[in-house]
Amino acid sequence: MAEALIKSENPKYIVFKGEEELSKSLAKYTADLSEKFVRERGAFTVVLSGGSLIESLRKLLEAPYVDTVEWARWHVFWVDERVVKKDHPDSNYKLAFDGFLSKVPIPPGHVYAINDALSPEGAADDYEACLRQLVKTEVLELSKDNGFPKFDLMLLGMGPDGHVASLFPGHALVKENRRWVTFIKDSPKPPPQRITFTFPVINSSSYIAQVVCGSNEAAAVHNALGTEKTSDPLPAAMVILKDGELTWFLDEAAASLLQG
């Protein structure tokens, strides 16, 4: 069992000695939620991000999980995607496919990549239409509170500037409160053209794991999890679940500014 150095309940975060320990715990957390949702409703909707998160899922590809997880019940989405061809090195789909999805028996029809033939506007509309269709077929549930889609689990990363998904500090998109999926053409992190889930969708999730490793992110972690409230919070601090559970998975370096 992966040993946590620190566990905090409010805000909920777990600190691990290193990324290796974190990845073991993240695999168990994800497998446990998969089991719960498959039992409760016969499907598990999982939202991936890009970046280092995919590497941190590697323990799910090992025993016991690779054999025990009901992969056929998984439905996989992206919280954000770069508007590039699916075989482009910048594609979050390619990153996840090469490092994770190609190694487990998730039915290809349950993997919802963007339509890479479209413009950012078109790809965002198309992805939102895909989600609406999945609500009709009851793969995806809607939040009873606000009518936004309610995913079972989102696995999020965070950039050193405190961005989550493709919602960047100071960008107007952080205030989008109508669309489910929107687009950005001037992302400060390259490549510039992306689609992204909006905060009302992210914040309607049942569970979110916010996974952050490394000292480059320590200041943003401190800012997001600190007690000082600011009028202009980082996007990472705007992940707030009213009817769900957010857990931060941190390594010691990312958590280094939290104590003292």
Stretch near ligand 6PG under the rule CB under 6 A, chosen from 110-118, 155-163, 170-178, 238-246: 155-163
Choosing from 49, 203, 204, 206, the residue that interacts with ligand 6PG (CB under 6 A) is: 49
Answer yes or no: are the C-beta atoms of 158 and 255 closer than 8 Å: no
Residue sitting closest to ligand 6PG (CB) = 51
Stretch near ligand 6PG under the rule CB under 6 A, chosen from 9-17, 43-51, 58-66, 147-155: 43-51
Cα(44)–Cα(158) distance, integer angstroms: 23
**Using the rule CB under 6 A, is 51 a contact of ligand 6PG?**
yes
Cα(37)–Cα(43) distance, integer angstroms: 6
**Using the rule CB under 6 A, is 157 a contact of ligand 6PG?**
yes
**Using the rule CB under 6 A, is 169 a contact of ligand 6PG?**
no
Q: Please count the CA atoms within 13 angstroms of the CA of 10 that sit on its side-chain side.
A: 0
Answer yes or no: are the C-beta atoms of 107 and 119 closer than 8 Å: no
Answer yes or no: are the C-beta atoms of 20 and 27 closer than 8 Å: no
State in angstroms the smallest separation of the CB of 240 from ligand 6PG: 18
State in angstroms the smallest separation of the CB of 143 from ligand 6PG: 22
- For residue 103, the SS3 value is helix
**Using the rule CB under 6 A, is 224 a contact of ligand 6PG?**
no
**Nearest-5° Cα angle at 233, 229 to 235:** 140
Cα(185)–Cα(120) distance, integer angstroms: 7
Answer yes or no: are the C-beta atoms of 50 and 80 closer than 8 Å: yes
The residue among 80 and 125 lying less far from ligand 6PG, judged by its C-beta, is 80
State in angstroms the smallest separation of the CB of 239 from ligand 6PG: 12
Q: Total number of residues binding ligand 6PG (CB under 6 A)?
A: 14
The residue among 171 and 189 lying less far from ligand 6PG, judged by its C-beta, is 189
- H-type helices in the chain, by residue range? 19-41, 53-56, 65-68, 92-99, 120-136, 199-202, 218-225
Residue reference for tokens 């989405």: 77
Stretch near ligand 6PG under the rule CB under 6 A, chosen from 37-45, 51-59, 145-153, 175-183: 51-59
**Using the rule CB under 6 A, is 247 a contact of ligand 6PG?**
no
Q: What are phi and psi of 14, to 5 degrees?
A: -125, 130
The residue among 57 and 69 lying less far from ligand 6PG, judged by its C-beta, is 57
Choosing from 83, 84, 134, 165, the residue that interacts with ligand 6PG (CB under 6 A) is: 165
Residues that bind ligand 6PG (CB under 6 A): 49-53, 80, 82, 92, 157-159, 165-166, 189
